[in-house]
Structure formats: structure tokens, C-alpha cells
Structure 1
Amino acid sequence: MKIVVLGAGVVGTAAAYYLARDGHEVTVVERHETAARGTSYSNAGLVSPGDATAWASPAALKTFLRALYNHDLGIKVRLRFDPYFLAWSLRFLRQCTQERLRANSEVKLRLALYSRDCINALQQYTGLSYDERRRGILYFFRTQKSLEHGTSNYEFLAKHGLPIEIVDRDRLVELEPGLAGAKDKIAGGVYSPIDQTGDSRQFVENLAAFSAERLGVKFLFGTKVEGLDIEGDTVRNVVTSGGPVSGDAVVISMGPESGLLGRRYGIDLPVYPVKGYTATVPLEDESKGPTMGGADEDQLIAYSRLGNRLRIASTAEFTGFDRTYRPRDFTAMFRTAKDLFPGAFDESKAELWSGLRPMMPNSVPVIGRAKYKNLYLDTGHGHVGWTMACGSGAFLADLVAGRKPEIDPQGLVYKG
């Protein structure tokens, strides 16, 4: 088949790779001049099944409401008239029960574990490099109270297949010597040994090049998707700034813009943009930096070691499609990073960035056929798109081929 994939971020590029591996003739349409220039350009760098807990929960409900008036939290909500945000919020609030938290987290974990295996198999097959490290990730807490409360979510994930080790501060520093200077400020944490890290931008750029050179995938860069030409129950063409692009099937993987496109054609796709901030800074003294990825669960800051660079990520800001940032948006992030890794870096040398995560109210991506017989979705991965991209692409390829997926599809196949 001829398949048109909309979007060349990590999700769209991975989908294109798996579809091309199946023998399809794949064309990718991307508005930027090269791959991975949107959401996938910079993230925390974590490939993290350990981060599979859904955002919507009874605790998140309280935080979400507090964020309406307290803008110093890691979650920020800017009130303004936005009917799509209001509709999304109502759906999010309906997911904030203990029952939905468990159900959504189980689905996320299932896909995340599968996707980690897919990433590693892909890397072995292609030989791609992307500053990857397979040393695990530490999720740690500042107080005993937050440690006791926070480990319950990880224990639930452990019951569903995630290997974990609950560690005290001595064991934590044994695993991560880079945290020795902050040992007295940490109560303990959770070590997920199968988690890993890597630079998603490098991965996407290299995978796009491999897919083009070895699998014949055609990338139409600098080409904006303007709409879909639909006749009856079939998408005839993708309308683009470069003219119509035809295919036997179309896949929407446009990150936060997926919802905008889908709604124009009656597709119930509640993807909403949630802004995050990252800073990437060279390590002045590598011995003082981390050796693996981690997350300060109380300060809501994640980080990873990418070669000789430190990537720091923070904040979930509900502010529509605004991608702008100011230096002060990174103040808390740098304060926490310097607290954890004193003397490791000079923040004046950091590359600053902000981007939009495509969040679903239940934190579960949408994959599969949508409304029209040849239109597919692979989007809504939120803050774990890097973690889930390859698993989603392989899962989608199975659906397109009519094969039984390698993992249980319950909760994953789109039913909108």
C-alpha cells in the first residue's frame, strides 16, 4: 500500500519505519525543514516504563485545582476562554478516580514495556546511535512522607511487570554517585533498572535518514498539512502547501496539532497541548554529573545524561499553543539541578527550549482506524512519546496489516 504519515516527530517517524519495514510505500509530510523539530526536539530524554503512571488521579485533581491560582507549582494553568481546554479538563477530571488511575496506568505500562523492547531491537537492527544509556532511572523523594505515598504507584506497576527496587539514600547514592552531594536532602526512591535514556532528536534524525536510504521512505519537509480531501468514507488525498498527496491510507501523527486536524472532520480526538521546558547544558565536570536518568518527584524535575551533556526538564503548563519562553521560566529548574549536582555545569551555557506535549485526558495514546476506512491515528502520547513511539509504530503496523498485535490491544485501539 501507499501510506501517507502526517508528522516527522518521534512517533510519526517510528510509524513510517515500521510501515516501510512491512513493505509499504511510505511518504511522510512534515511542516518543518527537517525531522524532530517540534515536540521531539528536546525532552527529558527518558525512555521510562517507570513513568507509566497516568497523570489523572485523585492527587492530581487537587494539584490541578491548586494550579488555577498558584502559578509556582510544576503544573501551571492559565485561565482564559478556551472551549477546547474546558472540554479537555472535564474529561481529565472524570479520569481522576483511583479506579481509572489504575486502569490507565496498566495500559500505559503495557505499551511502554513493549516499546522499550522495540527501541532496543530497532537499535540493534539499524545500528543507530543517539547518546543512549541503559543503566536504569531513579525516581526519588525529598521526605519520608512523600516517599511512602509515592512508592504505592510504583508498587502497582511492579505487580504488572515493571522490575523495581525501593532504595534508601545510601543505596541510591551507591547506584548514582552523582547524587552524593545531595544525599542528605533525599529520603529515598525507586530504582527502575530496565529504564534507559537517550536523545530523541538524534534518534529521529538518524532513523529518518535510515528509513529514507534503506527503506525508501519519502520525506516531504517544509510542507504544511492544510486538510484532508474526503469522499464518502474515504480520504482521497492529503491537501498540503505543496499540493495534494495521495495514498491508500493516511496516518495522523501530528503531535498537539492532531486534535485540531481531527476535529475538522468529526473525529473525537481530545488531544491538548501541554507546554514543557528543557535546558541542555554541557557538563563542566563530568564526575559531578549524573551517570543515569532521574526524576526529583517532589520538585517535578527530570533529567538525563546525554553524552557529556545534562538535559533537565520540568513543568506542565496549560497555555494553549504558545511555545514561547522567558529566561525566568527556567529559574526553578536550574535551582533544583544545581542543588542536586553542585559544580557540574554552568547554566549560562545552556540551550533553552520549550515545546508542547500532546496530552490525552487519560494519558493513553490513541492508535488505530478513525471514522474513515483508510484513516489511522497514532498520537496523544503526552510526556512519554519518546518512551512509547516505537511500540506504537509496531502496534500500528500490525493493525494496518490485519495481524494480531504482539501485545494485548485492550485499551489501546481507538474507539472514538
Structure 2
Amino acid sequence: MKVVVLGGGVVGTAAAWYLARDGHAVTLIERHADIACGTSQSNAGLVSPGDSTAWASPVALVTFIKSLYKPDMGIKVRFNLDPHFLAWTWRFLLQCTQARANANTEVKLRLAFYARQCINALQEETGLAYDDKRKGILYFYRSQQSLDAGAKHMGYIAERGLKIEVVDRERLVELEPGLAAVKHQIAGGVYSPMDQTGDSSLFARGLAELARERHGVQFRFKTTVTALDIEGDRVKAVLTDQGPVACDAVVVSLGPESSLLARKIGIDVPVYPVKGYTATIPVDDDKGPTMGGVDEDRLIAYSRLGNRLRIASTAEFAGYDRTHRPADFAAMFRTAHDLFPGAVDESKAVLWAGLRPMMPGSVPVHGRARYANLYLDTGHGHVGWTMACGSGKLTADLIAGRRPEIDTTGLLYRN
């Protein structure tokens, strides 16, 4: 079949790879000049089943209220009267019961486990290099109270298959010598050895090149999707500013723009953009962390990507605004200097802000939507890098009519 994938982030690129490997003639359409220039360009670098807890929960309202008077909180909301934001917020609040939070967390964890298997199998198959480390991730806490709460919180997903170790500060520094200078500021942490790290943009661009070389995937860059040409219950072609592209099937992986296209054809895909910020800083081999980590009290994550330190923070509801100012990174740099003294020269940092495609329940959406040959693979929020390969493989299985390797309960689109 002629399959057109819309979106060249890590999610769309992974879908294109698995579809082409199945023997389909795949064309990927991307509005930027290259792969991974939007949402996938920069993130915390964490491939993390340990970060599978749904955002929507009974404590979500408390976190939101704190964000109103604590400027350094990782959650920020710009109030606006956008009806789509208001509708999304209402749906988010409906997901904030403990029952829904547990159900959504279990679905996310199932997909994250599967996706981790997929990405590692893909690397073994291809030899793809993307500054990855399989050393686990440390989630650490600055007070005993927050450590106890965090360990209980992580215990829920540990009961469902995630291996964890609750560690004191001595064991924490044994695992991560880079934190030795500040160990007395840290009460302890939760070590998740099943988590790993890597550069999503390096991965996506490398995979795109392999997809072109090995499976003939065609890429149309600097091409913006404007609409879909629909006849009856099928999409005939993707309409773009560079002309139509005929298709037998379409996969929508447009990240935060997925809902904008869906609205044009009467499909309700409640994806809303959540803005995040990152800084990428060169570091010497003997400085900084050796593995990924999350300062849970300050909601700041980081990864060691080769000779670079990637720091990420903030979930800001600001519509489709991608701008940033130096002040947006101040708390991030303070924490980096605190944790890794002498390792961070912020004058050399590459600063970035981008949008994560968030669903109200934190669970991405897959499968056929309204039309017989239109498929969704979107809404991964802050864990698109974690879930990309699992979602791509699932999408390829659905289009092929195969029984997926993963239980699809809770993952498929419902009209």
C-alpha cells in the first residue's frame, strides 16, 4: 500500500520505519526542513517507564494551586478563553479521580514497557547510535517526607512490573558519583534500573536515513499539510502547499498540531500543547552526571548525552507559543549549578522551547479514526520519546491487520 505519514518527529519517523519494513511504499511529510525539528528536537532524553504515572490525579489540583504562588514550580498555566483549552481542561479534570489515574497509569506503563523492548530491539537490529545509556534513572528527593511520598508513588507501578530500589543518600551517590557534592541536600531516591536515556533527535534522524536507504521511504520536507481529500469513507489524498499526495492509508503523527487537522475533518482528538524548556550544555568527561535523573522536588530532569548535559523543566499551558526568554531557564540553571558544581557553563548552553502533545488522561491515541484508512498515532505528551517505537510498531500491526503484540485496551481511538 501507499502509506503517507504526517509528521517527522520521533513518533512519525518510527511509524514510517515499521510500515516500510512491512513492505509498504511510505512517504513522510514534514513542514520543517529536516526530521525532528519540532517537538522531538529536544527533551529530557529519558526513555522512562518509571515516568508512567498519569498527570491527571487527585493531587493535580493541589499542584496547580501551588503553581500560582510559587514561580519556580515546574507547572505553569496562562489563563485564556480558548474554547479548546477550556474543553481540554474540563476533560482533564474528569480524569482526576483515583480510579481514572490508576487506569491511565496502567495503560501508559504497558505501552512504555513494550516501547522500551521495541527501541532496544531496533538498535540491536540496526546498530543505530544516539548517545544512549542503559544505566537506569534516579528519581531523588530533598526531604524525608517527599522521599516517603515518592517511594509510595513509585510503589504502585513497581507492583505492576517496574523494578525499583529505594536508596538512601549513600547508595544514591554510589550509583551516581556526580551527586557526591550535594548528597547532604538529598534525603534519598528511587532507582529505576529499567529506565534508560538517549538523544531523540539523533535517533530520529538516524532512523530516517536508514528507512530511506533500506526501505525506500520518501521524505517531503518543507511541506505543510493543509487538508485531506476525502471521498466516502476513505482519504484519497493528503493536500499540501506543494500539491496533493495520493495514498491508500494515512497516519496522523503531527504532535500538538494533530488536533488542528482532525477538527477540519470532524474528528475529535483532544490533544493540547504543553510547553517545555530544555538547555543543552557541553561538559567534560569527568564532570556532571553519569546517568539520567530527576530532581522531583524541583521538577527538573536531566540526561548525560555523550559529552553534553541535557536539562529539562516546566510544563506550561501557553497555547501554541514556542518563544522563550533567558528568565525561563533561571531555575533550571540554579538547580544545575547546585547539583553539579563546576560542570555547567550556561553561556555555552543551547536553549530551546517546544510543545508536547498532551491528552487529558496522559494516554496517547492509536488506530483507525472515522475513515477506513485514516489512523492516529499521537498524543504522547512528555513521553513521546519513551513510547515512539512501541506506538510505531502497534500502528504498523493495525494497518497490516495483524494482531498486535501488545494488549490494546485503552490505547485505541474511540469515536
Q: TM-score range by the shorter chain?
A: over 0.9
1:212-231 Cα offsets, whole Å, 9 max, x none, are 11110000011000111111
1:402 counterpart residue number: 401
2:290 counterpart residue number: 291
| CA shift for structure 1 position 69 | 5.8
Query: 1:15-414, aligned counterparts within 5 Å?
Result: 15-68=15-68, 70-283=70-283, 285-414=284-413
| CA shift for structure 1 position 326 | 0.1
| CA shift for structure 1 position 66 | 3.8
CA distance 1:55–1:106, change in 2 (3 Å): same
CA distance 1:189–1:70, change in 2 (3 Å): closer
Sequence identity (%):
71
* Whole-angstrom distance in 2 between the partners of 1:98 and 1:396: 30
Please tell me whether the aligned partners of residues 273 and 358 of structure 1 are also in contact (alpha carbons under 8 angstroms).
Answer: yes
| CA shift for structure 1 position 71 | 4.2
* Whole-angstrom distance in 2 between the partners of 1:291 and 1:310: 10
Please tell me whether the aligned partners of residues 286 and 344 of structure 1 are also in contact (alpha carbons under 8 angstroms).
Answer: no
Please tell me whether the aligned partners of residues 256 and 359 of structure 1 are also in contact (alpha carbons under 8 angstroms).
Answer: yes
| CA shift for structure 1 position 199 | 0.5
Runs (4+) off by over 6 Å: none
* Whole-angstrom distance in 2 between the partners of 1:147 and 1:198: 26
Please tell me whether the aligned partners of residues 68 and 79 of structure 1 are also in contact (alpha carbons under 8 angstroms).
Answer: no
1:2 counterpart residue number: 2
Please tell me whether the aligned partners of residues 271 and 358 of structure 2 are also in contact (alpha carbons under 8 angstroms).
Answer: yes
Please tell me whether the aligned partners of residues 366 and 380 of structure 1 are also in contact (alpha carbons under 8 angstroms).
Answer: yes
Please tell me whether the aligned partners of residues 365 and 378 of structure 1 are also in contact (alpha carbons under 8 angstroms).
Answer: yes
| CA shift for structure 1 position 120 | 0.5
Please tell me whether the aligned partners of residues 237 and 245 of structure 1 are also in contact (alpha carbons under 8 angstroms).
Answer: yes
* Whole-angstrom distance in 2 between the partners of 1:12 and 1:280: 24
* Whole-angstrom distance in 1 between the partners of 2:297 and 2:67: 15
SS for the counterpart of 2:280 is: strand
SS for the counterpart of 2:37 is: coil
Structure 1 gaps, min length 5: none
Structure 2 gaps, min length 5: none
| CA shift for structure 1 position 61 | 1.9
CA distance 1:69–1:259, change in 2 (3 Å): farther
Please tell me whether the aligned partners of residues 56 and 362 of structure 2 are also in contact (alpha carbons under 8 angstroms).
Answer: yes
* Whole-angstrom distance in 1 between the partners of 2:358 and 2:70: 22
Which amino acid counterpart does residue 83 of structure 2 have in structure 1? Answer: P
1:108-143 Cα offsets, whole Å, 9 max, x none, are 000001101100110111111000111000011111
* Whole-angstrom distance in 1 between the partners of 2:80 and 2:365: 27
Please tell me whether the aligned partners of residues 276 and 314 of structure 1 are also in contact (alpha carbons under 8 angstroms).
Answer: yes
Please tell me whether the aligned partners of residues 6 and 253 of structure 2 are also in contact (alpha carbons under 8 angstroms).
Answer: yes
Which amino acid counterpart does residue 263 of structure 2 have in structure 1? Answer: R
Please tell me whether the aligned partners of residues 259 and 271 of structure 2 are also in contact (alpha carbons under 8 angstroms).
Answer: yes
Please tell me whether the aligned partners of residues 275 and 315 of structure 1 are also in contact (alpha carbons under 8 angstroms).
Answer: yes
Please tell me whether the aligned partners of residues 71 and 77 of structure 1 are also in contact (alpha carbons under 8 angstroms).
Answer: no
SS for the counterpart of 2:12 is: helix
* Whole-angstrom distance in 1 between the partners of 2:129 and 2:285: 20
Which amino acid counterpart does residue 100 of structure 1 have in structure 2? Answer: R
Which amino acid counterpart does residue 160 of structure 1 have in structure 2? Answer: R
* Whole-angstrom distance in 2 between the partners of 1:334 and 1:108: 30
1:415 aligns with 2:402: no
Please tell me whether the aligned partners of residues 137 and 191 of structure 2 are also in contact (alpha carbons under 8 angstroms).
Answer: yes
Please tell me whether the aligned partners of residues 258 and 271 of structure 1 are also in contact (alpha carbons under 8 angstroms).
Answer: yes
* Whole-angstrom distance in 2 between the partners of 1:159 and 1:408: 18
1:24-72 Cα offsets, whole Å, 9 max, x none, are 1100000001100000000000000100011111111211244356544
SS for the counterpart of 2:244 is: strand
SS for the counterpart of 1:23 is: coil
SS for the counterpart of 1:58 is: coil
Please tell me whether the aligned partners of residues 336 and 344 of structure 2 are also in contact (alpha carbons under 8 angstroms).
Answer: no
Which amino acid counterpart does residue 56 of structure 2 have in structure 1? Answer: A
* Whole-angstrom distance in 2 between the partners of 1:169 and 1:287: 21
SS for the counterpart of 1:36 is: coil
Please tell me whether the aligned partners of residues 360 and 381 of structure 1 are also in contact (alpha carbons under 8 angstroms).
Answer: yes
SS for the counterpart of 1:287 is: coil
The total of aligned residue pairs comes to 415
* Whole-angstrom distance in 2 between the partners of 1:103 and 1:189: 25
SS for the counterpart of 1:345 is: coil
Say which is worse superposed, 336-345 or 5-14, in terms of deviation.
Answer: 336-345
What is the TM-score normalised by the length of structure 1?
Answer: 0.98
* Whole-angstrom distance in 2 between the partners of 1:70 and 1:237: 49
Which amino acid counterpart does residue 125 of structure 1 have in structure 2? Answer: E
SS for the counterpart of 2:36 is: coil
Please tell me whether the aligned partners of residues 279 and 313 of structure 1 are also in contact (alpha carbons under 8 angstroms).
Answer: yes
| CA shift for structure 1 position 277 | 0.2
Please tell me whether the aligned partners of residues 14 and 389 of structure 2 are also in contact (alpha carbons under 8 angstroms).
Answer: yes
* Whole-angstrom distance in 1 between the partners of 2:399 and 2:152: 38
* Whole-angstrom distance in 2 between the partners of 1:305 and 1:69: 32
SS for the counterpart of 1:133 is: coil
Say which is worse superposed, 94-103 or 250-259, in terms of deviation.
Answer: 94-103
What is the TM-score normalised by the length of structure 2?
Answer: 0.99
| CA shift for structure 1 position 80 | 1.7
